[in-house]
Amino acid sequence: MKILNKKFVYLISPNKITGEIFYDDLKKIFLTKKVSFFQLRLKKEKFNKKIIIARKILKLCRKYKVKLLINDDPYLTLKVNADGCHLGQSDMDIFKAKKLLGNKIIGITCHNSFRLAKVAKLKNATYIGLGAFFKSDTKKTPIKADIKTLNKIRISLNIPIVAIGGINEKNYKKLLLNNADFLAISGYIWNNIKDKPHKAILKLK
């Protein structure tokens, strides 16, 4: 039987962060010891505001031994000394990002493509993101990922895989048992109408 990684959650921030309640919730989430990575993803916030938010989150990440990644922005990553960044296919090229960031973590979105995953591996990405595996309200994407591609990448490329897209307490084990290393989760935690964020994450056992 496959032994599941106890810190398999790759937590993505809500689309907007306002007020101290978010930081209180994040602390309670980190106390569950289920989170390995936290990605700050604020598409509509100004750069200077993102610096302030990122630095506050970084303090919590350091305290609870969680890696802070910045979505799309190597410059912000460098500015706040985050642990790394995540790049989409239309963001900065990984070679340029590596030149800027040195040995920091760099993840690459590969959708459901073995070819993109192979390129990411050749360019020495730290990990790849695959998805969306399920319907997601957090990020609309026309691309549907499948277990077959996930397993093909796992067998052939030997690179850490982060699965994303509509993951919740009902479907998460299917991905872990099919060789995803980490699960990128957002809406299930932050927009859960039944459970507070730290209660929701505790259901992912």
Residue 144 belongs to a domain: yes
Domain that holds residue 141: 9-202
* CATH number of residue 74's parent domain: 3.20.20.70
Per residue in 21-65, pLDDT tens?
999 999 999 999 999 999 999 999 999 999 999 999 999 999 999
pLDDT for 1 equals 33
CA 8, chain centre distance (Å): 10
Q: With a cut of 60, say whether residue 2 has pLDDT above it.
A: no
User: Six-digit token pair at 19?
Assistant: 């007020």
Q: Give the Cβ contact number of residue 7 at 10 Å.
A: 14
- Any idea which of 2-6, 32-36, 38-42, 155-159 has the lowest mean pLDDT? 2-6
Q: Please state the domain count of the chain.
A: 1
Residue 3 belongs to a domain: no
pLDDT for 3 equals 43
Asked whether the beta carbons of 112 and 146 are under 8 A apart, the reply is yes
Asked whether the beta carbons of 79 and 73 are under 8 A apart, the reply is no
| pTM for the full predicted model | 0.95
